[in-house]
Amino acid sequence: MREYAATFDAGTTAVKGALVDESGRVVASASGDLEPIIDGEAREQDPDQWWRAFLDVARLMLHDAAQADPDFDVERIRGIVCSGQMQDVIALDADLQPVRHAILYSDGRADEQAVALAEAYSGGAQRFLATVGNRLEGCLPLPKLMWLRDREPDPFARIAHVLISSKDYLIVRLAGVCVGDVAACSTAGAMDIRTGRWNAELCAAAGIDVSLLPELHRPQDVVGAVTTEAAEVTGFAVGTPVYAGIGDAGATTLASGVAHPGQYNINLGTSGWIATVSSDPFVDKPGAANLAFGVTDGYVNAVPFLNAGDVHRWATGLFADGDYGRAHELIESSRPGANGVLCLPYLVGERFPVMNPAVRGAFVGMSPAASAADMLRAALEGVAFSIRQGMASFDEPPTAISLIGGGARETAWCRILAAMLHHPVEVFANADILPAVALASLVFGRPGLVATVADTTTYEPDPAAIGVYDTLYPRFAALYPAIADLG
């Protein structure tokens, strides 16, 4: 009889669910919208909105599965596993009820507390980075808890438990336990990333009781089971195993097939990141975020860069009236090297390979022969040059490179990156389902499940384009120092 894993992702704007069978096939899926609460610097969300959306999604998903297969039985669901946004503060009382809205990862109110923590912690911000694996900033949950203590003492006094990821609140409602996975909890600002344990010295410096923090687990650990109360409202069977799950960045990395050093995943969203796995946190790279992976030994290293799909969108609007089909034709009509035009693509500052929020972009090398097609191509080549510059700082040479995000739909950009990086790049045609399949692999104990269902297109590097980009790369590398000096 076929068995299933019920997978969920609790993001900022939606809860998504997918029922995945042992072969990696998604047999039913559903989603429910969410609304964050935004007020000035405050970024919050009602935890019970996550739960209400979860209930709607779960019931619809189970209904659709039963409609598709008359023999479907919830007793054949091997487990429930979730991913979710990380770096939140979800404060609960002794009855496991929220004492206030969750404070989200993007909330910007605790900078003052981060400065105070750097002063109180022996060794300051540099030792914090070495211990936690991430830079001390006000967006981290530990300074946010200090902010709550300082600004909202009455709700703070009622806190008995703190969760770090939205998916952990779903686990509370399903199984009645307060847990966290080591990947998501790497973003708390209170965990020693090398030991995978809460750091009592850090919490003491912050004036926060370490016992408030959740029990730590690997993503594939069973942490509880569906309670009678939860079964009545969700439709799942009583006793269905509930897994620790994994924070969203860890789930994306797992879904992209990155599990070993030398494997890289490049996300070309509005902004982007380069993710890999290594034996040590990246503490010497600007803006790098590090997670204890937990699924296997080692660390997820995600290096964010600010300029990716936004450059594509801007250039398409400027040179192709916002028509992506027309933009593709223009890019293809210009040859590698863009007729001598180079673009420094830093429209909104940059975090990697340089960290400078004030720098802005530039085109150089324009001549009367330069066309709109050349300018468009140069913009995408500029992002690719910047990614190449960033990847040159990684220790492990690439053995595999994959692309995800909206930018990966532009086939010309995929070919540019393959040549720029001297390496084939794989693009997932079904990237939307892979995170759910990756989560299901934790339930089924099948690490290779994603690879069996991934639908990929491989772009091979063009030798002629490699030669052009190798010639131009030193000129591109000289652009930032020249532009930065102009202020």
266 and 231 co-located in one domain = no
62 and 134 co-located in one domain = yes
**Total domains, the chain:** 2
93 and 188 co-located in one domain = yes
Residue 449 lies inside a defined structural domain of this protein: no
Q: Which pLDDT belongs to residue 487?
A: 60
Could you tell me the CA-to-CA distances from 302 to 242, 261, 272 in Å, in that order? 27, 13, 10
Mean pLDDT, all residues of the chain: 95
Give strand pairing partners of 278. Answer: 299
Which CATH number belongs to the domain containing residue 48 in this structure?
A: 3.30.420.40
165 and 285 co-located in one domain = no
Residue 448 lies inside a defined structural domain of this protein: no
Question: Structural domain of residue 363, as residue ranges?
Answer: 249-424+460-487
> CB of 424 within 8 A of CB of 418?
yes
Confidence of residue 303 (pLDDT cuts 50, 70, 90): confident
Residue 153 lies inside a defined structural domain of this protein: yes
> CB of 155 within 8 A of CB of 89?
no
CB atoms within 10 A of CB 69: 13
Q: Which of 214, 244, 274 is the last residue of a domain?
A: 244
Q: What is the pLDDT of residues 176-225, one digit of tens each?
A: 999 999 999 999 999 999 999 999 999 999 999 999 999 999 999 999 99
Residue 438 lies inside a defined structural domain of this protein: no
Q: Which of 197, 219, 244 is the last residue of a domain?
A: 244
Q: How far apart are CA 9 and CA 438, in angstroms?
A: 12
User: What's the average model confidence in pLDDT over 63-85?
Assistant: 95
Which residue is associated with the tokens 């860890």?
Answer: 250
What is the sign, positive or negative, of the torsion defined by CA atoms of 36, 37, 38, 42? Answer: negative
Query: What's phi and psi for 144, nearest 5 deg?
Result: -65, -35
Confidence of residue 146 (pLDDT cuts 50, 70, 90): very high
What pTM value is reported for the model?
0.88
10 and 68 co-located in one domain = yes
